[in-house]
A and B are shown apart, each in its own frame.
Chain A
Amino acid sequence: MKRWWSLVGKEWRGSWTVILLALAATIGFDTWLAIKAPVWSARINGGLAFGLSFIPFVGMGIAALVVGYYTMRNEWRDRTSLQLLSYPVSGAGILWAKLLVAVLGLGLITVVATVGTWFVTQRSSIPYSTIMSATEDILRLTPWERTLDIIWMVVCSILGTAFIVAVGLFSFTIGTIVPRISGLIAVIVYGLTWYLTFAFAPHAMYAFSFVPNPGLIVYTGLGPMAARKVIPLLPFWPTIMGTVILILIAGKILELEVDA
């Protein structure tokens, strides 16, 4: 375990400059929006700055799609794979370390972007009635229900990000089996993995609907007719299973097949 944490530390130190740059860009962008928000609210509409503050989240989504692939590619490009794979650590251990740091980095930037969006909202002149109608359903939840919903949503976001990163790690690792056309193989595997994910996701969710799933608490209907409902988070178990399977297969390939 000591070796694994050391790998995590190495990954973190190796990527913190990029994370720092992304944080600076996010903070700078949201600060600019917060400065502009009152002016735009007066002239155009209150929602413009608020809407633009979601751009960093789009960036995060794109980053999640490519970070897994690139974090592995860099090891091969810089030939550090020779050093990395000579360590007495399992292939899966190496990939879990990369996955953890990628998710932590993306999570950290997402938290900052969320605070930025909240800050921009405070500075925007969005009509009170708009805020009330948008948050009406949330306000009906009791504090503990709201907390539980937030916890599950954060957990699902982390799991979803982990799965996306794992697909990138998996694709690159498969590509290294055929070094001459590794890039092409990786792209094909990447596309195929996503195709299979979407094709079989409903089946997987159905299969896992028979086991206990976490759920989101919501209220439907209005006034005294409002009914409390729990929506099961069916992608929960398939996402965990998918991530674990991808990492374990890629880890085994790293140990057995890869030419560093």
Chain B
Amino acid sequence: MPAIELTDVHKRYYRSHALRGVNLSVDRGKIVGLLGPNGSGKSTLLRICAGLASPTSGKVQVHGQDISIATKAITAYIPDIDSFYSWMTVRQAIAFESSMFDDFVLADAMDLVRELKLDPDNKISSLSKGQRGRLKLVLAMSRRAELVLMDEPLSGIDPPSRTAILETIADRYRAGEQTIIISTHEVLESEKLFEDVIFLSEGRIVLTGEADQLRAERGKSLNEIFAEVC
């Protein structure tokens, strides 16, 4: 059973088409890069999979189930924007997240907070963009979630934080058990993480495949293939 299966998924916002007949099957237990330029439909696709938007038409399944409370329980979603309650402290945000998900491991969260150099007693409103990016990662990677959806986790983040984020994903990823889908248009830095890649352009999937195979077949890096197909 695939981690995610989309069948002829369309998403329209008034006159604009965010997704145009997307058919996709993502295998379980891999790190998948969802690559495409701004406005290609990456965020919409991830939001639909996270249950935060509904497709205009088509079918979406996560682990063989239609999107529901049950699929939300096994999905960790990191949005591209800050969606924290800014009045909370880092510690309160972790405690709140822990109370919402049975698979949240508090000890892991506190380890990650130390690793990523966050002060648990800092208010979220006082955190920098890089620190908030790291906090998002703490909340997602402290769970034993079967599916992790990361929407532009590196966007607008300073270089040291970007490195820390990528290292944490690589270290904490539970190969074979967990599926991580990372959407980005900044391919160069993150391409070594991806096992599979999906290239999205103007709401359509233009290329999918195993990262190593695509590199070998085309004799190019993913970044170069991205520039070519998107």
Mark A residues whose CB is within 8 Å of B: 2-3, 6, 10, 13-14, 78-83, 85-90, 180, 255-260
Contact = CB atoms under 8 A, between A and B. Distances in A.
Given A80-B83, A80-B84, A89-B69, A2 B52 contact: no
Given A10-B96, A14-B87, A88-B100, A79 B51 contact: no
Nearest to A87: B100
Interface in B1-56: 14, 47, 50-54
A180 B82 contact: no
B85 A86 contact: no
Dominant secondary structure of chain B at its interface with chain A:
loop
Nearest to B81: A79
Contacts of B69: 88-90, 255
5 contacts: A82-B81, A83-B85, A87-B101, A259-B47, A260-B53
Interface stretch (B71-79, B112-120, B193-201): B71-79
Nearest to A257: B54
Q: Which of A6, A82, A260 gathers most chain B CB within 10 Å?
A: A82
B107 interface: no
A89 B92 CA distance: 19
A3 B101 CA distance: 8
Contacts of A82: 52, 77, 79, 81, 83
A218 B77 CA distance: 58
A77 B226 CA distance: 34
B99 interface: yes
Contacts of A14: 85, 87
Contacts of B79: 79, 82-83
Nearest to A84: B83
Pairs A-B, 8 closest by C-beta atoms: A6-B99, A88-B73, A82-B83, A83-B83, A88-B72, A260-B52, A82-B79, A87-B100
A13 B83 contact: no
Contacts of B82: 79
A83 B53 CA distance: 13
Nearest to B139: A83
Interface of B: 14, 47, 50-54, 68-70, 72-73, 75, 77, 79, 81-88, 92, 96, 99-101
A199 B100 CA distance: 41
Given A6-B99, A86-B50, A79 B87 contact: no
Contacts of B68: 255
A259 B70 CA distance: 19
Given A86-B51, A88-B101, A78 B70 contact: no
Contacts of B50: 86
Contacts of B72: 86-88
Q: Which of B73, B81, B88, B99 gathers most chain A CB within 10 Å?
A: B99
Contact of B84 (A6, A83, A90, A256): A83
Contacts of B88: 13
Contacts of A258: 53
Given A80-B84, A85-B52, A260-B53, 8 more contacts: A13-B87, A78-B85, A82-B52, A86-B52, A87-B101, A257-B54, A259-B47, A260-B52
Nearest to B95: A6
A10 B100 CA distance: 11
A6 B52 contact: no
Nearest to A256: B54
B100 A3 contact: yes
A87 B88 CA distance: 17
A180 B100 CA distance: 31
Contacts of A259: 47, 52-54
A78 B50 CA distance: 19
Contacts of A90: 69
Contacts of A79: 79, 81-83
A80 to B, nearest CB: 5
A10 B83 contact: no
B85 A88 contact: no
A71 to B, nearest CB: 13
Contacts of B87: 13-14
